[in-house]
Structure 1
Amino acid sequence: MKTTRIHKLKYAAAPLAIGLALISTPSFAQDAADEEEPAGEIVVTGSLIQNPNLVQSTPVNATTADEIDLLQSNVAEEVLRELPGVVPSIGSAVNNGNGGASYVDLRGLGSIRNIVLLDGQRIAPSGLLGRVDLNNIPLALVERVDALTGAAVTTYGADAITGVVNFITRKDFAGVEISAGTQLTEKGDGHTVRIDATVGGNFDDGRGNAVLSIGYQQSDPIYQGDRDFANFQISSYTGGTAGSGTSIPSRFSGTRPIDPLTGLPSIDPTVANGGVRQVNASGAAVPTFQTFNFNPFNIFQTPFKRFNIFAQGNYEISDAVEIYTRGMFSKNTVDTIIAPSGSFGGTVTINLNNPYLPSTLRNQFCAFNTSTVASGLYTPRFTPAQCAAAATATGRTDPNYREVTVTLNRRTSEVGPRISNYQTTIFDYRIGARGSISESIDWDISGAYGESENVQTIKNYTLQSRFRQATLADNTTTCQTATAGCVPVNLFGPEGSITPAMAAFLTADSSTVVRTTLAQVRGTISGDIGFTAPWAGEAVGFAVGGEYRKYGATQSSDLLARTPGELGGAGGAAPNIDGGYDVYEAFGEIIAPIVSDKPLFHSLTLEAGLRYSSYKVNAAGSPKNDTWTWKVGGSWEPVESLKIRSNYSRAVRAPNINELYFPATVGLTNLAIDPCSGAAPTLNPNLSAICIAQGAPVGSIGSITNPTAAQANITTFGSINLSPETADTLTLGAVFQPDFIPGFSMSLDYYNIKIKDVIGAALPGDLIGACFGTITAASATSADCTVIRRNPITGGLDGDPATTAGLFGPITNQGKLKTDGIDLLANWKGDIGFADLSLAFVGNWTNSSKFQSRPGGLNRECVGYYSVNCSFTGSIQPEFQTSTRATFGFEDVDLSFLWRWTDAVQFEPQQLADDLVVANATGCTDPNGADPDGCMVNPEFRNIGAEHYFDLTARWNASDNFSFTFTIQNLLNNKPKVVGNTIGATSFNSGNVYPSTYDALGRRFGVAAKLTF
């Protein structure tokens, strides 16, 4: 007879299948097949799937397919974003900073510290950081999603420091299922479409099964300009409207006259910002600025298209051997849309006979405000006669020809918004075989290979080299350069002065391609060893095995993308990268039932695991890292209705390819307040000396401006000598299933995760604090100060990355991370007379989440706080979060209410204190208030109150084969709290709000239909 496929049942119902352990025991297999355990009555939001959280020694939060249907989400990231304890990472609500993929961040420790699995197996990552793109998960075939906290490294290998997210697909699917859904906001935008078709069946008298699922998803953009709270960019400091200093008309700097006594630029006392001036309507350059409102161009929902295919099958060759396979293909297209490009502080040389140069501005270029400085202190750059002669010079060979070199800030709205089109194509294929060695021992061996290719094509970006060519013009049609097609550009007029021909010359498309590969082979033997403890009723279970993984990744950029400062507003160059590493691992786990069915010991089970990993980086001179990880844990049931469980593990995370191979590159970080800005350096000689030591011109002291749009330059790079991170994780909790409350279950779990030797760069606040400290105690000779390099013309921390290195933030092993908190899950299902009622509650309390970037540095607390520094891994992490769903089941209709609650948060106290030091040094009129100097965050923006969201879903089962679902999300149309655009990281603080944490889209309506047969 057939063995009932003992190994098959274990894979279907035992811990191995749910992604929690490699061990399966006979009792699990037999109970799953033949008995109704009490745990079988426990459901997750109406599903009949047994919650793995109730039977494991490690806490798991399970989200079922039914819950996914009720949420009506297009992609997996939107589903996970709603879970308490998950901090929103890069996803559909991130525009500036989205690289075309979506990720999950468990516990707020970073999306690189957890792994995403499909049926307990790794799939190809999507980028240099080794993360799995959630856009590729086939939601239509997902049976449930298990989110496990900690204790996963011995089971799944590196990267699982904070846990795993395991997407479990439906097995043995037979039939046809077709579903379609669409959503629209109350304002009529943000249209989404999702269509899925799944077909599967059994064959050869049930020995085999095959399933194929095809899906298409699409979402349209939602522009920030279409929401009243986001239409105008607001400064988080002044509380008033603000914007970018790269604006229209053009701004010029670096034109201060030279003091002959010092040979340095002298300060123009009429210009408080160091001679930065903007052209006005009369053609003069004045210190009264117009900023550029970039918000209307940005988006709250990134446009997205995806076509995906998923197929899997299994076939029993014999009673003892089964082969299985799985393949997935996905093509995603994500567009990010941000404000127009331009020259963001790049240098240009302008000839004084430029045909577009106004005479008033020409005279100012020759000598700014010479009458305001005492006679004899300096000689104007050019005399009035020289200036007049230069205006009529015939060309460079003319002895009267003159030029000036200045920095240029000019927004090119005539070109249109900057668009980054990301097309990601991924395929991943696995094949394996499994079977039984004996009645109690199984084997499984499989191999897989996957590739991901992300092609970024950027459009409407201007080139700084073209600006430099086009500003040297003999006339309106001829450039001095010999570059073919050069068109002189009018930089001195209002919006529209750049014609289509000029715009066409200034721009060029650019591309960057990132390819990643993952090859893996894995084999396990698991079962029981035939030994049972004297007081136990079940045998000791075990699993042993080995695994090999080979990672590879390349980034190939064209010349434009990898040239620093060439693409206007690209945020830094994209260097070529080619790297990889190999991992060899051996592992073993054991589960030992010690006591069962004794007084005060309904069960007592211990478990342990050990994994050896060897990492070899594919680079000459790189060290080989050998690590050991382990776990110990157990569960005790004093009575059948109560289980106490705990697990302690030592985990590691090896550096990813980006951290290993990324070369020194100037990019962008967020920094609102520069200690060298404003009058502070003139009041403090020590501070002045520091600013000058960092490369600020002497003449800029007293007039340096804060970074434009709160974005400063930063130089960062990786190293092949990085070693793995090490973490200690603890979970301790209890599961309660009282007999006197049928259908009720509850779990309460404490988690504690500590990571040392953290791989990463210091936060911008830490880099500034390491140098300036209390300002009065800072030293101009300190290495922490001199590594910061300023704009050689303006003295600021922003500008052309080719000349301004900015902050210095290399990737090191010096940091520490720590978090701890409590998860509470409760479920109840029962008959209340007029309906069946299902109640599900998930709550998280995060006690602490700290990051110390280097020994002796600030141990920064970020739970319940928001700021630039508290966005180092994702969006806001509140102290408390809950999600409660109540579903009423009538005869043919289900009515479901979802209540999501987020605790109040506030502006980070440490950042507020740091700003106050600078504010006091500058002599602000009211450092603690909404003063016009904007020295401190506006008091109105220092707190975000608790937020409640309510969703309503109605599902009508019209027949056994057809169901119709109607959903209203954000039922009360709650709007997010406005805190300005310069209070946090650009990726998560956008449109004056935090759109990844708080709903910026408004009330949304969705309809869906599902047909099965």
Structure 2
Amino acid sequence: MTKVAFARLFAGVSLVATAVSAQAQTGPAADAVTDGDAETIVVTGSRVIKNGDDSPTPVTVLTMESLQAAHPTSVFEALLSAPAFAGSRGGTQSAPSGNRATSSSINALNLRGLGPVRTLILYDGHRVPPTQIDGLVDANIIPQMLLERVDVVTGGASAVYGSDAIGGVVNFITNRKFKGVKFEAQRGISQRDDAGTYRLGIGAGADLFDGRGHIMGSVETFHNDGLIYPQRASLARHWTVQGNGTTVPYYLTPDVVSSGLSWGGKITAVTGGTSTPNLNTTFNTNGVLTPFVNGAAIASSSSVRLGGDGIWDTVPSLRPRTSQIQAYGRFDYELSDSLRFHLTGAYTYDHAFNNFGNVNSNGLVISATNPFLSQTIRDQFAAAGVKTFTMSKKYAQGLVPSSNVDFHTHDIYVNAGLDGKIGAFDWSTSYTFHNVRLDTYSNYTFDNGKFFAALDAVDEGVYKTGVANNNIVCKVSITNPGLYPGCVPINLFGPSSETQQMVDYVRRQGKFVTKLPSHDADFTISGEPFETWAGPVGMALNAEWHRQGLELTSTNPTVDYLPLDCTGLTLTTDTYGGNCKPGTVLNPGDRTPSYNGGVAPRPPVDMSVIEGAVEFNVPLIKDWSLAESVNLSLADRYAKYVAHGNPDITKGKLTNRFEANTWKVGLDWNVSRALSFRATRSRDFRAPNLYEMYQTLSTTFSNGNQDRLTGRSTLVNGALIAVESQGNPNLKPEVANTLTLGAVIRPSSKFSVAIDYFDIKIRDFIKTLTGSDAALQQACYNGTAPEYCLLQERPGSFTDTSGANTVTKWKATTRNIALMKTQGIDVEANFTSTLFGRPFALRALASYQPHVYLIQPGLVTQDYAGAIGVPADFVVGPKFRATFSAHAEPLAGLTVDWETRVRGVMHQSPDPTLSGLPSADALSATYHSMTLTWTPKQVLDGRVSVYLNVTDLFDHGADPSASFVNQTSPGLGGGFVLGDDPTGRYFRFGVRGKF
């Protein structure tokens, strides 16, 4: 670690503190004492169970002290060490992605790898609505400074909390009785003097009005410098997986480049001549052509090579740069002995910046007389009669920066409610308003119209009089000057041939604004209305109303949503706007330009739900010889949804209605204090989100999708094939059947082991289907799944293989079509004792999830468990995941917390019919971290603690890996497994205190 790094680590560190809370424990929490005020903790997995020993649902309670001991970072990063969170989004990223209307830099929790949309996030027991159009919730919006604990339910809980609780529930719970002042400051830096972070926060709470009122609040800020690809030498060799998994097994190889482009521009085709001069040459030097060096061939791939003049992405973010400011406040007041009012408000501003990769232009059609070409090159083309040539180029930073996006999230949360008692019953009602605004700035996009106009350059003198005057202008400025006023011709012939004026003319900043307002009202009453021979029966009734909205505006619509006006543009490429011919307009009367990197707007749509639930906890047996207690848990919920919207925004809104009914039966059998068993059978659900139902209908054109019936990728006349994408308003909820069986063994007060088996089947699984997909086409043509034939349009029957029957339109939409199922085992062991007369504790958490199957009609069953090459929505992670931790206090005032995190081996593809060499697998990885905390009694009576945290203690970093999905895009694939951390050894220094 350099001296500069040490200086940066300790810069800005000030006195801070954090409240001390109880150690984490397995199972639901029982009664607890918080800051001197007794408060009963209600188990997150239930509205009636108040003693964790009686819960049939596995719940892990993680106190802030236990989370911060090994992870003095964000709560989200601390939670990722729990093996139950598999495939969560956040932290480092091996392949930055996003459609530029959603932030790829969010922290989205994912229980059991079923997808973040199937993990329900609660804040103080209230549902947190989506923060993105894809239905995900960013855990960053949860105020952290005054959190007391996090409850993690690893099991279906829809009967208690409603939609999305298929994988489980994560409940962030505030210390609502906090008194005093706490503050914290932290500085972090890697051993390589990069990826710097800092965190500052202060919180306070006090009683008012002789104890009848209480007020509390906090302010905190966090910053992370991020991490860019070239900063890690082991990954800078742009590792890729090559092969096809069949005739050539997948294998890992470094230094692969894409041979279809070059940094200065590669000429890939010439047209109109008797010969092909300058074919396969490149402008490696501005204005000068040299032969393109292909590099060594790679088996099974014609688009990539080993070495040579090809390109790769050099700048994607391994960790996004983020900044956050958060404010929180709560006031509650005792109106009477049986009625209390509360008001909570929070505001979060989150800014994330992400590099996606170098900008490139493929298949540019350029005139052979372009005046930016040297006279020698123009003469060579003229001698052969060449009219145009096609060139592909990737821009090396400089004046053309990387494709990068700024995400600005503004989150407002307000909750007001009443809590009271009616006889033996407790009741509560509240209203929550939650509004998310995500402003997305795509900082480098091309205005396609301007770009094509600038590319069509001429010598003004030659064009007008036939005599050169060396005044290079856009041809459209002469032929149609009102179409693109101020057009600046662009020179693309070389790595740095563009001027700032040229770049500024064709580039623009796109802005996409997503608004997600939501309203929620709920009422709950609970109590123990009567007793049985075994004890009081707990009952809870719950009624809720939610309303979720979605709106998206865009300054850069999709290419064909507002088609490009081609009038006056004589040289364009099929990649944009279809077959754009001179003097024609794709959509007559529509003169709006189209943009590279566009997003279709989505006028407001909304969904409302009314739901009611009932829950019982019934004691069956008490104080028998083999049953100290047996308790039965029952729950049922009915929900009715009404949605308004239409994927086709040119038409009126549709009204769509659907229902969901869920239930849960659980049994908790305490044989003795040393042994207990638990079992739960539940029916859970996830309602489709607004984007899945009402994604705007948009049409693009492509020649990249092959019709496998006719063998063509364009129509007979050369026209491109339309691709139509939209949501599906007829979606219905996914339904999951969940079984959990568990046992808790406590041979002594110092040691316990919990083992839980789970089996989950999700029917009517919602999946996006694309008609051009090769597997879906094959299932259509061979008759195994004829429903996929509806995803394409063609003139004739599916037996006509002639070119005249080429598909005219591909369709992409969402359907309730698949079945997902998984099984696994979770194990947790805890041991507490003393070492040399001082406290000592060990803890182990492990999950084994051997399969996560996705079964779809007519297709090979996919197994996503342990697979690297999967879409972002199906990232599950390794089959085996484990975390081992130890806590010791070797000296008075000094504590040591150690954590070891292990992930198992991962393989390349979820498709069992595809094979790979061992080099394509990701070997198991182990990461160690340690935190030293010193709390000197002589400093403010032990109210201040100083800590040093070191993560990746042995500097393991991230082993080279990659996914076959990105084999034709070297560099952007990342080169490591999602979840591994390429940062290497990292140091955090901080000070905490509480007064």
How far apart, CA to CA, are the structure 1 residues paired with 2:40 and 2:267?
Answer: 66
Residues 821-832 of structure 1 correspond to what in structure 2 (within 5 A)?
A: 821-832=824-835
How far apart, CA to CA, are the structure 1 residues paired with 2:310 and 2:213?
Answer: 63
Alpha-carbon contact 2:538-2:616 (below 8 Å) kept: yes
* 1:513-567 residue CA offsets vs partner (Å, 9 max, x unmatched): 01101101100110011x2222x0x211101121100000111111356667599
Q: Larger deviation: 231-240 or 882-891?
A: 231-240
1:446 aligned onto 2:451: no
Q: Tell me the CA shift for residue 78 of structure 1.
A: 1.7
SS in structure 1 of the partner of residue 537 of structure 2: strand
Q: Tell me the CA shift for residue 249 of structure 1.
A: 2.1
Q: Larger deviation: 208-217 or 656-665?
A: 656-665
1:462 aligned onto 2:446: yes
Q: Tell me the CA shift for residue 814 of structure 1.
A: 0.5
Alpha-carbon contact 1:68-1:79 (below 8 Å) kept: yes
How far apart, CA to CA, are the structure 1 residues paired with 2:971 and 2:500?
Answer: 34
Residue 947 of structure 1 corresponds to 925
The alignment of Structure 1 onto Structure 2 pairs a total of residues equal to: 864
* 1:754-793 residue CA offsets vs partner (Å, 9 max, x unmatched): 11111121499x93223358x9x979x9996896899xxx
How far apart, CA to CA, are the structure 2 residues paired with 1:981 and 1:863?
Answer: 15
Residue 603 of structure 1 corresponds to 629
Q: Tell me the CA shift for residue 62 of structure 1.
A: 2.6
Alpha-carbon contact 2:31-2:39 (below 8 Å) kept: no
Q: 2:417 aligns with which of 432, 442, 452?
A: 432
SS in structure 2 of the partner of residue 651 of structure 1: strand
SS in structure 1 of the partner of residue 327 of structure 2: strand
1:558 aligned onto 2:555: yes
Alpha-carbon contact 1:181-1:193 (below 8 Å) kept: yes
Q: Residues 643 and 940 from structure 1, CA distance in 2 versus in 1: closer, same or farther, beyond 3 angstroms? A: closer
SS in structure 1 of the partner of residue 117 of structure 2: helix
Q: Residues 908 and 155 from structure 1, CA distance in 2 versus in 1: closer, same or farther, beyond 3 angstroms? A: same
SS in structure 2 of the partner of residue 582 of structure 1: strand
Which residue identity lines up with residue 1003 of structure 1 in the other structure? R
SS in structure 1 of the partner of residue 77 of structure 2: helix
Q: Tell me the CA shift for residue 845 of structure 1.
A: 0.8
Q: Residues 185 and 569 from structure 1, CA distance in 2 versus in 1: closer, same or farther, beyond 3 angstroms? A: farther
* 1:860-909 residue CA offsets vs partner (Å, 9 max, x unmatched): 11222222xx3452545211111011010242111111011111122227
1:579 aligned onto 2:605: yes
How far apart, CA to CA, are the structure 2 residues paired with 1:988 and 1:113?
Answer: 32
Alpha-carbon contact 2:240-2:970 (below 8 Å) kept: no
Q: Residues 989 and 158 from structure 1, CA distance in 2 versus in 1: closer, same or farther, beyond 3 angstroms? A: farther
More strand by share: 2
Residue 850 of structure 1 corresponds to 853
Q: 2:838 aligns with which of 835, 838, 842?
A: 835
SS in structure 2 of the partner of residue 645 of structure 1: strand
Residue 67 of structure 1 corresponds to 66
1:487 aligned onto 2:469: no
1:756 aligned onto 2:756: no
How far apart, CA to CA, are the structure 2 residues paired with 1:451 and 1:756?
Answer: 32
Unpaired segments ≥5 residues, structure 1: 1-6, 29-51, 260-267, 367-382, 388-402, 677-686, 701-711, 791-802, 917-936
Q: Larger deviation: 190-199 or 231-240?
A: 231-240
How far apart, CA to CA, are the structure 2 residues paired with 1:70 and 1:512?
Answer: 40
SS in structure 2 of the partner of residue 161 of structure 1: coil
How far apart, CA to CA, are the structure 1 residues paired with 2:979 and 2:863?
Answer: 19
Residue 737 of structure 2 corresponds to 728
Alpha-carbon contact 2:158-2:166 (below 8 Å) kept: yes
Q: 2:620 aligns with which of 579, 587, 594?
A: 594
Question: TM-score, normalised to structure 2's length?
Answer: 0.80
Q: Residues 1003 and 698 from structure 1, CA distance in 2 versus in 1: closer, same or farther, beyond 3 angstroms? A: farther
Percent of pairs with identical residues:
24
SS in structure 1 of the partner of residue 449 of structure 2: helix
Residues 988-1007 of structure 1 correspond to what in structure 2 (within 5 A)?
A: 992-994=974-976, 996-1007=978-989
How far apart, CA to CA, are the structure 2 residues paired with 1:407 and 1:437?
Answer: 78
Q: Residues 81 and 362 from structure 1, CA distance in 2 versus in 1: closer, same or farther, beyond 3 angstroms? A: farther
Q: Tell me the CA shift for residue 576 of structure 1.
A: 2.9
Question: TM-score, normalised to structure 1's length?
Answer: 0.78
Q: Residues 947 and 665 from structure 1, CA distance in 2 versus in 1: closer, same or farther, beyond 3 angstroms? A: farther
Alpha-carbon contact 2:445-2:597 (below 8 Å) kept: no
Q: Residues 822 and 291 from structure 1, CA distance in 2 versus in 1: closer, same or farther, beyond 3 angstroms? A: farther
Q: Residues 74 and 335 from structure 1, CA distance in 2 versus in 1: closer, same or farther, beyond 3 angstroms? A: farther
Alpha-carbon contact 1:124-1:428 (below 8 Å) kept: no
How far apart, CA to CA, are the structure 2 residues paired with 1:876 and 1:365?
Answer: 54
How far apart, CA to CA, are the structure 2 residues paired with 1:182 and 1:986?
Answer: 39
Residue 325 of structure 1 corresponds to 343
Unpaired segments ≥5 residues, structure 2: 1-29, 244-252, 296-307, 460-470, 562-575, 578-592, 646-652, 795-805
Which residue identity lines up with residue 633 of structure 2 in the other structure? E
Q: Tell me the CA shift for residue 805 of structure 1.
A: 10
Q: Tell me the CA shift for residue 8 of structure 1.
A: 12
Q: 2:359 aligns with which of 341, 345, 349?
A: 341
How far apart, CA to CA, are the structure 2 residues paired with 1:716 and 1:477?
Answer: 41
Residue 956 of structure 2 corresponds to 974
Which residue identity lines up with residue 506 of structure 1 in the other structure? V
1:283 aligned onto 2:266: no
Residue 543 of structure 1 corresponds to 540
Q: Residues 814 and 291 from structure 1, CA distance in 2 versus in 1: closer, same or farther, beyond 3 angstroms? A: farther
Q: Residues 592 and 13 from structure 1, CA distance in 2 versus in 1: closer, same or farther, beyond 3 angstroms? A: farther
Q: Residues 772 and 151 from structure 1, CA distance in 2 versus in 1: closer, same or farther, beyond 3 angstroms? A: closer
Q: 1:747 aligns with which of 754, 757, 764?
A: 754
SS in structure 2 of the partner of residue 761 of structure 1: strand
How far apart, CA to CA, are the structure 1 residues paired with 2:361 and 2:880?
Answer: 44
* 1:310-363 residue CA offsets vs partner (Å, 9 max, x unmatched): 112322111111112211110000000133323244x54x33432113456557
Q: Residues 627 and 408 from structure 1, CA distance in 2 versus in 1: closer, same or farther, beyond 3 angstroms? A: same
* 1:387-434 residue CA offsets vs partner (Å, 9 max, x unmatched): 6xxxxxxxxxxxxxxx64857544363311222111000011101111
Alpha-carbon contact 2:715-2:808 (below 8 Å) kept: no
1:168 aligned onto 2:168: no
How far apart, CA to CA, are the structure 2 residues paired with 1:990 and 1:89?
Answer: 20
Residue 936 of structure 2 corresponds to 958
How far apart, CA to CA, are the structure 1 residues paired with 2:393 and 2:823?
Answer: 46
Q: Tell me the CA shift for residue 131 of structure 1.
A: 2.4
Residue 769 of structure 1 corresponds to 775
Alpha-carbon contact 1:968-1:1003 (below 8 Å) kept: yes
Alpha-carbon contact 1:988-1:995 (below 8 Å) kept: no
Alpha-carbon contact 1:629-1:650 (below 8 Å) kept: yes
Q: Tell me the CA shift for residue 637 of structure 1.
A: 1.1
1:505 aligned onto 2:505: yes
Residue 907 of structure 2 corresponds to 906
Q: Residues 991 and 860 from structure 1, CA distance in 2 versus in 1: closer, same or farther, beyond 3 angstroms? A: closer
Alpha-carbon contact 1:562-1:576 (below 8 Å) kept: no
Residues 382-397 of structure 1 correspond to what in structure 2 (within 5 A)?
A: 384=384
Q: Larger deviation: 129-138 or 837-846?
A: 129-138
SS in structure 2 of the partner of residue 356 of structure 1: coil
Residue 44 of structure 2 corresponds to 19
Q: 1:423 aligns with which of 402, 408, 431?
A: 408
SS in structure 2 of the partner of residue 283 of structure 1: strand
Residue 815 of structure 1 corresponds to 818
How far apart, CA to CA, are the structure 2 residues paired with 1:488 and 1:832?
Answer: 76
How far apart, CA to CA, are the structure 2 residues paired with 1:253 and 1:691?
Answer: 23
Alpha-carbon contact 1:10-1:24 (below 8 Å) kept: no
How far apart, CA to CA, are the structure 1 residues paired with 2:210 and 2:409?
Answer: 40
How far apart, CA to CA, are the structure 1 residues paired with 2:59 and 2:228?
Answer: 37
How far apart, CA to CA, are the structure 2 residues paired with 1:627 and 1:608?
Answer: 17
Q: Tell me the CA shift for residue 667 of structure 1.
A: 9.1
How far apart, CA to CA, are the structure 1 residues paired with 2:42 and 2:746?
Answer: 23
How far apart, CA to CA, are the structure 2 residues paired with 1:713 and 1:973?
Answer: 50
Q: Larger deviation: 828-837 or 879-888?
A: 828-837
Q: Residues 668 and 699 from structure 1, CA distance in 2 versus in 1: closer, same or farther, beyond 3 angstroms? A: closer
Q: Residues 453 and 1012 from structure 1, CA distance in 2 versus in 1: closer, same or farther, beyond 3 angstroms? A: same
| CA RMSD of superposed structures (Å) | 3.8
1:144 aligned onto 2:159: no
Q: Residues 626 and 772 from structure 1, CA distance in 2 versus in 1: closer, same or farther, beyond 3 angstroms? A: closer
Alpha-carbon contact 1:247-1:410 (below 8 Å) kept: yes
